[in-house]
Amino acid sequence: MERRSLGNAGLGVSAVGLGCSGMTGDYGVPDDVESTATIHRAIDLGVTFFDTSDAYGDGRNEQLIAGAIAGRRDGLVLATKFGNIRGPNGERGGVNGRPEHVAKACEASLRRLGVDVIDLFYQHRVDPDVPIEETVGAMARLVEQGKVRFLGLCEAGPGTIRKAHATHAISALQMEYSLWSRDVEDRILPLLRELGIGLVPYSPLGRGFLTGVFRRRDDLIPTDRRHAHPRFQEGNFEANLALLGALDRIARERRLAPAQVALAWVLSRGPDIVPIPGTKRRPWLEQNVAASAVRLDDVDLAALEEAFPPGAASGPRYPEAQLRRLGI
């Protein structure tokens, strides 16, 4: 598989990574056996970039990955995150960017992952109550100690990115980016290119919507977290189905899956962009990996641009309360 660089500090990864969050909950029913087989298949296909977080499954996701990569660690780039915390009753939305928490979170992730060093360590969400220089300063000390190789941020605004990068080189920014979530193109992506920071799009398939697999809201099981996302709710869901026409047509003409067209579009946005589509099933993984070889022509790109202009999706990408907390 093609390799791409994230940042200017020497972090090289496969052009398509594997997002592992759905392997331990939120989306569908967990299946540890198939998830492990999917990770093994990803390695066999040349995927080197694996993404997790201490928040996914309350640490179980990191443990799952540890078991799957046992004996196969060489050449892999493990990315994990810290900072998202739950309340006493499991409430979402808490953030902790205090320096002492950074160090503790790193030690816990190293232990769960069963490794001596984390390749890419992200702050999962920016803590508005802690200066970013303090958080990144603590992350930088982990680099000095040899516990972390490269640093990243997730869902950060331009001012935060500049301050963080001035404190220590940031190699990657993880943001939602896809045909129906193009917010980064206005201010974020130009800044990343100015500073030499790579972009890691999560949900590059629109949380599965752009695959065309979901044609009714009932196609999602009742416990699926996507029910809480506005774009999957009644009214918005049906309106968003209308966006898929051009995607479906190009896929038919090119004898591709819609997901492959959507991923090829993200990959076409620049060599400094490395999407991490998530799946726990080998057939979907193989489909996603094959998208790295797809090259869309100018006609295809123009049709997608017309069908998916910025702001085309019905409904915000997160519930309003979560968007406010992002502060971007």
Residues with a known catalytic role = 56
φ/ψ of residue 216, rounded to 5: -140, 150
- Which 3 state secondary structure label does DSSP give 11? strand
- Which 3 state secondary structure label does DSSP give 174? strand
> Residue 272 is encoded by which pair of tokens?
């400094």
> Residue 242 is encoded by which pair of tokens?
């209308």
Burial per residue of 119-146, b for 16 or more beta-carbon CB atoms within 10 angstroms, e otherwise: bbbbbbbbbeebebeebbebbbbbbeee
Pick left, alpha or beta for residue 83 (phi over 0 → left; psi -120 to 50 → alpha; otherwise beta).
left
- Which 3 state secondary structure label does DSSP give 313? coil
Q: Where are the alpha helices (DSSP H) in 7-126?
A: 32-44, 60-69, 99-113
* Cα–Cα distance, 304 to 67 (Å, whole number): 40
Task: Please choose, from the candidates 244, 252, 246, the residue with its C-alpha nearest in 3D space to the C-alpha of residue 213.
Answer: 244
* Cα–Cα distance, 39 to 281 (Å, whole number): 9
* Cα–Cα distance, 295 to 265 (Å, whole number): 8
In the numeric block, the tokens 């360590």 are attached to: 121
